[in-house]
Structure 1
Amino acid sequence: MKPRKIPMRKDIVTGEMVPKKELVRIVRTPEGNVILDPSNRANGRGAYISLSVDVAETAKKKRIFDKVFETKLEEQFYDELIAYVDHQAARKELFGDAK
């Protein structure tokens, strides 16, 4: 049996290529809103970040998504991102690869 291809995406904070399952997608919708996209299906321009609290905090400190999406985001967005990443990392640790 032929091994399945693992989709890879680039983490915009670290610049590393990582399996898509280990990332969270952030989307700027056609209306201009920036949202978390846990389903990976929302319409709009997407960017990926690792499920690591350190990486999320670096994104907040450097305001990475402000630059990528060419918009001004509130601190609340970054705080929500850090909380989401922390929650998903804890889930992964408890339940393994199941999402």
Structure 2
Amino acid sequence: MPKKNRKTPLRKCLVSQEMFEKDQLIRIVKTKNGDTFVDPSGKKNGRGYYVASDLAIIEKAEKNHVLERHLQTNDLQSIYNALKKVVKGEPIEQ
């Protein structure tokens, strides 16, 4: 019996407001404790926010303080740096 075609999960980018497949996005997690970090695996517990895996979009988010508004916190420079590392394919420390 042939397998059914499964829909790939779609998520909306916070910056561009476009829908992408999950594997084209980078997930940012905010836990109940208020900790915020980049989750390249996409499996950590907490509220997930998605940003397109594109350096121009990440720089636009940084310039316009998009993550600060959505995450309701300040000083997210380490998050922006981690996002840029993920896009470039560099490892990040958790």
TM normalised by structure 2 equals 0.84
Q: How many equivalent residue pairs? A: 88
What is the RMSD computed on CA atoms of the aligned residues?
Answer: 1.5
TM normalised by structure 1 equals 0.80
Q: Deviations over 1:9-37 (max 9, x none)?
A: 00111000100111110011111111001
| Structure 2 counterpart of 1:78 | 80
Contact 2:24 2:52 in 1 (8 A): yes
| Structure 2 counterpart of 1:64 | 66
Matches for 1:1-99 after TM superposition, within 5 Å: 1=2, 2-87=4-89
Contact 1:10 1:18 in 2 (8 A): yes
CA distance in 1, matches of 2:64, 2:29: 18
Contact 2:40 2:86 in 1 (8 A): no
Q: Give unpaired runs (5+ residues) of structure 1.
A: 89-99
Contact 1:11 1:17 in 2 (8 A): yes
Q: CA deviation at 1:41?
A: 1.5
